[in-house]
């Protein structure tokens, strides 16, 4: 394979980052979690500028978490579990309405966490799709089943319009740069349980602390 091919973006690497996300005792590393999202944002950007309003929001949230991680209290932000503990103990989270901590790590991660559920549903649909399946429909179905519940009408509307601009399944698989459609399906089959586990662990953490509805 030519050198330039090696450099080319592959969704394989992104999905692999999710392998690194869990510590030995099943805590979620924020560093790898945001690295995974970073790759996904890059992928989304490569699909076209109509997705810019989506990738921009995700990029902003990624940056907020990176800033905490690199900040003076960074040691508390190593895992999602340590972050939740630290922010709650120090009253750094707006619990019922937005106030003095509108960009807490907890509420920021929650937004990405909800989007991870969309990703899981969408990739599962892609994995089990057939040649004539429509990516826009799979994407919209996954969205309506997950993230849409947390978005106001205007965002749902804009998202719905953006979905229509998604490339068809063959082109979409091409941009993933993973290989043949069979290879894409295999990679998705490997990645999905990992993504699902990270999602379940984060969900349990937020549920345990009553944080699933943070404003
Ligand atoms: C492949 C097609 C990509 C479709 C992506 C599906 C998700 C659509 C989400 C539309 C988000 C619109 C922009 C901003 C929304 C924000 O209001 C919310 C809540 O944050 P707040 O306002 O409370 O601070 N943001 C989110 O829900 C996070 C959305 C992250 C989406 C990341 C998508 C990454 C896509 C990866 C592609 C493989």
**Is 155 a pocket residue for ligand 1 (Cβ < 6 Å)?**
yes
167 CB burial (10 A radius; 0-12, 13-18, 19+):
middle
Confidence check: pLDDT of 2 > 70: no
Give the count of beta carbons closer than 10 Å to the beta carbon of residue 160.
Answer: 15
Q: Per-residue pLDDT averaged across 108-130, rounded?
A: 98
Q: Per-residue pLDDT averaged across 129-140, rounded?
A: 97
* Cα(40)–Cα(52) distance, integer angstroms: 13
β-bridge mates for residue 22, sequence order: 28
Q: Per-residue pLDDT averaged across 113-126, rounded?
A: 98
**Is 44 a pocket residue for ligand 1 (Cβ < 6 Å)?**
yes
What angle in degrees, to the nearest 10, is found between the helix axes of 181-208 and 80-89?
A: 30
Q: How many angstroms is it from 4 CA to the middle of ligand 1?
A: 31
Q: 45: pLDDT confidence band, cut at 50, 70 and 90?
A: very high
> What is the third-level CATH fold of 10-208?
Glycolipid transfer protein, GLTP (1.10.3520)
Q: 7: pLDDT confidence band, cut at 50, 70 and 90?
A: low
What share of the chain has pLDDT > 70, as a percent?
Answer: 96
Q: How many angstroms is it from 174 CA to the middle of ligand 1?
A: 23
**Is 159 a pocket residue for ligand 1 (Cβ < 6 Å)?**
yes
**Is 115 a pocket residue for ligand 1 (Cβ < 6 Å)?**
yes
What pLDDT is stored for residue 10 in this prediction?
Answer: 85
Task: Express each pLDDT in 140-175 by its tens digit.
Answer: 999 999 999 999 999 999 999 999 999 999 999 999
Q: How many angstroms is it from 193 CA to the middle of ligand 1?
A: 22
Residue 177, CA distances (Å) to 10, 13, 33, 110, 192 in order: 5, 10, 21, 29, 17
Cα 61 versus chain centre, distance:
11
What pLDDT is stored for residue 8 in this prediction?
Answer: 65
Confidence check: pLDDT of 4 > 70: no
| Residue with CA at minimum distance from ligand 1 atom 26 | 111
**Is 205 a pocket residue for ligand 1 (Cβ < 6 Å)?**
no
**Is 37 a pocket residue for ligand 1 (Cβ < 6 Å)?**
no
Q: 185: pLDDT confidence band, cut at 50, 70 and 90?
A: very high
What pLDDT is stored for residue 200 in this prediction?
Answer: 98
Confidence check: pLDDT of 5 > 70: no
């Amino acid at each position: 394979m030519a050198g330039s091919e090696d450099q080319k973006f592959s969704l394989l690497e992104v999905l692999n980052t999710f392998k690194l996300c869990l510590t030995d005792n099943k805590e979620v590393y924020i560093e790898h979690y945001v690295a995974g999202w970073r790759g996904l944002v890059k992928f989304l950007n490569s699909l076209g500028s109509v997705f810019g309003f989506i990738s921009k929001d995700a990029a902003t949230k990624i940056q907020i978490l990176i800033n905490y991680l690199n900040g003076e209290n960074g040691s508390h932000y190593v895992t999602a579990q340590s972050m939740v503990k630290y922010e709650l103990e120090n009253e750094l989270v707006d619990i019922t309405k937005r106030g003095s901590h509108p960009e807490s790590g907890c509420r920021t991660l929650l937004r990405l966490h909800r989007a991870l559920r969309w990703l899981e549903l969408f990739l599962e649909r892609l994995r089990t799709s057939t040649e004539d399946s429509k990516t826009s429909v799979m994407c919209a179905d996954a969205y309506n089943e997950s993230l849409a519940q947390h978005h106001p009408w205007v965002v749902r509307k804009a998202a719905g319009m953006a979905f229509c601009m998604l490339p068809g399944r063959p082109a979409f698989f091409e941009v993933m740069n993973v290989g043949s459609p069979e290879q894409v399906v295999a990679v998705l089959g490997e990645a999905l349980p990992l993504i699902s586990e990270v999602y379940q662990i984060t969900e349990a953490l937020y549920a345990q602390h009553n944080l699933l509805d943070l404003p």
